[in-house]
Chains A and B, each alone.
Chain A
C-alpha cells in the first residue's frame, strides 16, 4: 500500500530536492561507451544492400563484384543461404502467419530500404564499397501507401495473406438511436504522419562468436532478455549460450525493443565468418529503412446532449504497419483501448486495424498508440466545444471521470486506477495564466494583432505491463547491488533505482550499484519500454529491499537473541537488544540477498497540457508562446529525472505537431532521408515550458509510481493543434500535422 501520508492528490508529488544523475559525468565528458565505441579485437563491420524500390519481385542479387572488393570478408543474400532467418513477431504469432519476414529479402521486397544482402568487411568504408558493388535486379510492383487502398487487398504484399494483419473491435457497438437522438454529433478525420525515432544513437549491434557456438551480443537495446531469447530460438541455440550486453544507449523511444532483421543478418555473418561483426546504423539508414511510429488514419464520431455531456464516441483507426506487421500490429489496439480518454462517456466503440503498406515497419514510438488516442479524443472534444459554443475547459470538466469513480472500468476494457483529472486541468490553466491569455485573445480579436490561441489536452495514458525481476544484495564492504530486469536507454536507472533501494534501507544512495542490461548478470527481465521501469522494475527493487531488510532483522534478532519484532532499522543500522549491526556486518557472516518478481497491473498516469500560440497571419508560421505540462505520475522518485524526461518528450511532441514527418513519394521511396529534410525541433523552436505535477499514487503498488516519460508526446500535439485552431478560429480537424506554415496558411484561407 502507498505511504498513507502520500495518498490523495496534491500539487507536490516530489519527494526530494533535485540532484544530479550519476550517469552524467562520464556521458558528458565523452567517456560513455556505446556499441560503436567498443574495442573488440578483429571486429569487422557490416553494411546492407537495400532495396531502392518500395515493392517488387526480387529477381537477382549479384554479389560477385562486392566479394572482390579489397577488404570485403563476405557477402550474403538470401540466395546464398539454405535457411534464411525469420524475424519473430512480437507478442503473438498470428500476425506473422503467411507474412514471413526474412532477415534478407528472399523473393520480394516490401519497403524501400529493406535489406537484400549484407556485406562484411574490415571496416565500414570497405563494407560500403562492397555494398556499392552489389547488383540487384527487382521488377517493381505497385506501391501501397494509403491504408484505405491496402484494406481492399487489390495489391497483396504477401500472396495468400490479407493486407489486414489485425482487426479488432473494443467496446459495444453504439445503438444507432444514440446518434439519432443526440443534440449534437461531430465527426472528424485525422491523419498521424509516420515519424522516425531519431534517437541520437541509431540502432547498433556487435556479435562475437564464442567457443562451442555460443555468442556474445552487444546491442543498443531496450529488452535484452527478449533479444537473447529470439536470437537463441532463431539460431537453434540454448538461451544460456547467448549473452546479450547493453552498453550505454543513446536513446531508444521504442525503436530498440525489437529483434530487427539486420540484427539476425549480423548474427548470421558473425557465425559464418567466425569473427566479431558490428553494424552501426547511420542516420541515412535510420531515416530510410529504420522503423516508423504513429501512421494512423482515424475517423471519429462524438455525440453529446445539449449541455455538453458526452453520450457516445466511435473511433475507426487504421495503422499503416509497413511491409511486415511483426513489430507494430498491436499499436492500433492500444489506441482502441485508450479511446475513452479522460471521460466517463457511457458508450465507446472502436474498430482498429493494422494494414500492410509498402513502407518501413511500424513499431512503438514514444507514446506508442496513446498519442494517437489522445489526439483523436482531445481534438474532437475541442471540435464539439466549438459546435456547442462552450469553453473547452468547461466541457472537459463536465465529462471527466470523477475522482469518486475510481477504479473506473472504461467501455474499452481498461481499469483506470486513480486520479483527479479536473485538479490537473485546473492547475495547468492556472500555471498557464489562462485568464490573462483569454483576455489578450479577446483584445487582439477586437483591436487587431496576430491571431492568438489557447489549446488544451487532458490526457490519460497507460503505463507498465507484465512482470519484472529485481534483486538486492548487501556486500561485506558496505555497498549494495541492485539488479533489475529493466534496461536503461538513457532514463537514469543507475540514479533512480539506487535511490529506491537506498531509501528503503536507509543507506547512502551512492553505495548502491545498479546492475542491469546483461543477461549473464541478470537472470531474467522484461526491459524498459511502456514507461514501465519505475512502476514495475522500481517496485521489484523496493520489494527486494524490503525482503532484504526483513532477512537482516531476522539475522540480527537471532544474533542478539531477541524477537525479530524488536529489531529496529534506522539509517542503515539495525539495533537488536543493545547490539548494532550494519548490513555489511551481516553480509560478512553469510551472503545477504533478496529478490522479487512482481507483476503489478498497468497504471493510468494522466495530466493536462496547455499551449498558447501565435500564428503569423500572413505566412502561417506557428510560434508557441507558452507550454504548460501538468503530469500525474503517482509517486515521483527522482524529480530531476522525471522532469527531464517530460521535457524531452515535450520536444518530441512539439516536433510531431509542427515539423516532423517521414515523407514518401508516390512510389513509396522515402524523401526525408537526412536531418535537413526530416525536421526536428531545435532549441530555437522550444518555447518556455512550465512543468508542474499532481500526485495520485498508484494504489496497486507499494512504491506508488506510475509510468513517466512519454507524456509530452501525448499531451503536446493535441494542445498545440487545438491552440492553432483556436487562434485561426477553425475546427481542429481542418489542420493536419505537421502544422507547417503552408498547412496553416491553407487552412486559414
Chain B
C-alpha cells in the first residue's frame, strides 16, 4: 500500500494549478484533502505521475451566500472548503440544516477535518453524501481548465460510480447550492451497517410547502442507481397536495421504482434496496414534515 512514484507541485494560484494540470492532463491529479485520492494511490488503483497541490493556493476556501441577479440566493463553495465546515449550519435556513445533517453522517472527524466537498464530488462515490445533496438540490458546478470554464448541473456532472464529466486538465472550482426558502422542511437519512464505511443507501429530502400544500418536492436517493438520482414519480405524487401521511406513503412506495442497476458496493440485494428505499423515503418525508412544523 505504497503509491507509485509521482511528481509533486504546490500551486501558488488557481491559474498556476490549471497550467500545471495542462502540462500533463491525462496523468495529473489535483490534491485537495486527499482522503480518497491518497488511499487509491496507496492501493495503486490510480497512478497519477503528477500531483498538483492546491492547499497552497489562497482564497480557495470560499464559502459564502450570494444573491444571484435573477433567481434567488446561492451558497458558493470553493475547492478547499472542508467537510467540517458544514457541521454547523452555514446558512440560517433549511439549506444549512440539511448540509449539517449530511455532514454528521460523513465518515468520521479526522476525514471531515481534511476532506473537501468538491473533492468528494469529483471522486463521485455512488453513495457519498455531497453528490446526493448536489443532485437533490440541483447544484451547479464550475469546471475550469486553461482552455476556459463551463458550468454543469450536478446531474450532468455525475456520470456513474467514480465517473464524472471532468475532462483531463479540468478542475472543479466551485459548487453552488440554491438557498432553500424558509418554508422548506429537510431531512437526510442513511442506511449503513456500521458507522464506518459508506452508506448502502441514503435519502435527502427538501419539501417546500405553501398554504399547506407542497409546492416543491425534492427527493434524492443514493444507492438506488449507479449515481445519486432524484425520484420524480415520488416527487410528483407529493407536489400540489398537502403532505399527509397518505401522500407520504404513496410517494415512498413510488420511490422504490428508482432502484435500477445499483452499485455493487456496499453490497445489498435488489429486493432489500427497494424495500429500504421505500422505508427510508417514508421516514425522511415524515422528518422533513416535522422539520417544517417545528420551524413554523
Give chain A's interface residues, CB within 8 Å of chain B. Answer: 124-125, 128-129, 132, 282-284, 618-619, 621, 658-659, 663, 674-677, 679-685, 740-742, 745-746
A741 in contact with B5 (CB, 8 Å): no
Partner of A740, one of B3, B193, B195: B193
**With contacts A284-B43, A745-B272 known, what are 15 further pairs, Cβ within 8 A?**
A125-B2, A125-B5, A129-B4, A282-B1, A663-B267, A676-B197, A676-B198, A679-B194, A679-B197, A680-B196, A681-B194, A684-B194, A684-B195, A741-B193, A742-B269
**Which residues of chain A are within 8 angstroms of B191 by Cβ–Cβ distance?**
619, 621, 741
A679 with B265: in contact, given A128-B2, A742-B272 (CB under 8 Å)?
A: no
**Which residues of chain A are within 8 angstroms of B2 by Cβ–Cβ distance?**
124-125, 128
Which 3 A-B pairs have CB atoms at the shortest separation, nearest pair first?
Answer: A684-B195, A282-B1, A125-B2
Task: Let me know if B44 is at the binding interface, CB within 8 A.
Answer: yes
**Bound CA span A740–B191, Å:** 11
A680 in contact with B194 (CB, 8 Å): yes
**Which residues of chain A are within 8 angstroms of B197 by Cβ–Cβ distance?**
675-677, 679
B194 in contact with A682 (CB, 8 Å): yes
**Bound CA span A276–B25, Å:** 41
CB distance from A214 to the nearest CB of B (A): 31
Residue of B nearest to A281 (CB): B1
Which bracket fits the contact residues of B?
20 to 34
**Bound CA span A124–B268, Å:** 36
CB distance from A660 to the nearest CB of B (A): 10
B1 in contact with A742 (CB, 8 Å): no
Give chain B's interface residues, CB within 8 Å of chain A. Answer: 1-5, 43-44, 191, 193-198, 265-269, 272, 275-276, 279-280
**Bound CA span A674–B3, Å:** 16
A659 with B272: in contact, given A132-B4, A284-B1 (CB under 8 Å)?
A: no
A679 in contact with B193 (CB, 8 Å): yes
**Bound CA span A676–B2, Å:** 18
B196 in contact with A746 (CB, 8 Å): no
**Bound CA span A125–B269, Å:** 39
A746 in contact with B279 (CB, 8 Å): no
CB distance from B248 to the nearest CB of A (A): 14
Residue of B nearest to A677 (CB): B265
**Bound CA span A124–B5, Å:** 12
**Which residues of chain B are within 8 angstroms of A284 by Cβ–Cβ distance?**
1, 43
List, sorted by A's number, 14 A–B pairs whose CB atoms are closer than 8 Å.
Answer: A124-B2, A283-B1, A618-B275, A619-B280, A621-B191, A658-B194, A659-B194, A677-B265, A679-B194, A679-B196, A741-B272, A742-B268, A742-B269, A745-B275
Residue of B nearest to A676 (CB): B197
Residue of B nearest to A684 (CB): B195
**Bound CA span A742–B266, Å:** 12
**Bound CA span A677–B196, Å:** 9
Residue of A nearest to B266 (CB): A677
**Bound CA span A674–B45, Å:** 13
Kindly name the residue among A125, A129, A741 whose own CB sees the greatest number of chain B CB atoms within 10 A. Answer: A741
**Bound CA span A124–B42, Å:** 12
Residue of A nearest to B273 (CB): A742
Partner of A618, one of B1, B44, B266, B279: B279
**Which residues of chain B are within 8 angstroms of A125 by Cβ–Cβ distance?**
2-5
A682 in contact with B196 (CB, 8 Å): yes
B194 in contact with A685 (CB, 8 Å): yes
CB distance from A140 to the nearest CB of B (A): 22
**Bound CA span A284–B197, Å:** 16
**Which residues of chain A are within 8 angstroms of B194 by Cβ–Cβ distance?**
658-659, 679-682, 684-685
B196 in contact with A129 (CB, 8 Å): no
A675 in contact with B196 (CB, 8 Å): yes
**Bound CA span A674–B197, Å:** 10
